[in-house]
Amino acid sequence: MIKVDATPFEFGFDPARTALVVIDMQRDFIEPGGFGETLGNDISHMQRAIAPVRDLLALFRQQGWLVIHTRENHAGDLSDCPPAKRDRGSPSLRIGDDGPMGRILIRGEPGAEIIPDCAPVNGEIVIDKPGKGAFYATGLGDLLADRGIRTLVFAGVTTEVCVQTSMREANDRGFECLLIEEATESYFPEFKAATLDMIRAQGGIVGWTASLAALKTALERQTRQPEVL
């Protein structure tokens, strides 16, 4: 077991039964002209998450641990996009409309790709999802069950929308969930702070949060003092 200094208390995990789930580090949420900006958001906040997510990916890859990426997107014919999602509000462009990075939030379009800094490598698993949660209408649950995964380390954007929804879905399915604090961002800093607080309140009602530094320290400690089996 690796033991991480986390909130609300220590978080222990067995790497063989753990996966990193990086939520929606897509151009559509991070770059100008994408879905996030069409909704009226200040996308500059997303920049803070890029280096920590990249470092977290590097850490999991160095250890040879399981890495999963998700992408929020829809089929070109919008058959998996409920009108309630497409028609909501007054965005400058709607899902499926033509934008500067191709059609907004459509699978296969440039805007729906993961940003180069966080792109999947070496056949890492990529889950395409039509909703905010990573389990809804995807094969993620079966995939994790097949691999005997019990613990999920979360990162990505945005904290209170797709990250929190996915973490709550995972928590209800019995996974132990840890969110890495620097490796997630919101368009609203106060929503990020509130989400971290509500996840770890009530004795970890949804899960734990920890800094990337705390995870790195836990790994170094483990390397120096290998557990006696």
- Using CB under 6 A as the criterion, which residues of the chain lie in contact with ligand TIU when the complex forms? 24, 29, 36, 39, 72, 132, 157-158, 161-162, 187
- The neighbouring-strand residues paired with 66 are 19
Residue 178's closest CA among 218, 145, 223, 125?
218
Q: Just list the catalytic residues.
A: 24, 129, 162
Query: 18 or 158: whose CB is closer to ligand TIU?
Result: 158
Give the torsion through C-alpha atoms of 171, 176, 179, 180, to 10 deg. -170
Query: 187 or 208: whose CB is closer to ligand TIU?
Result: 187
Minimum distance from CB of 5 to ligand TIU (Å)?
Answer: 27
Which residue is at the shortest CB distance from ligand TIU? 162
Minimum distance from CB of 58 to ligand TIU (Å)?
Answer: 22
d(CA 215, CA 13): 11
Minimum distance from CB of 212 to ligand TIU (Å)?
Answer: 20
d(CA 43, CA 23): 16
Query: 93 or 162: whose CB is closer to ligand TIU?
Result: 162
143: its two tokens: 């995939």
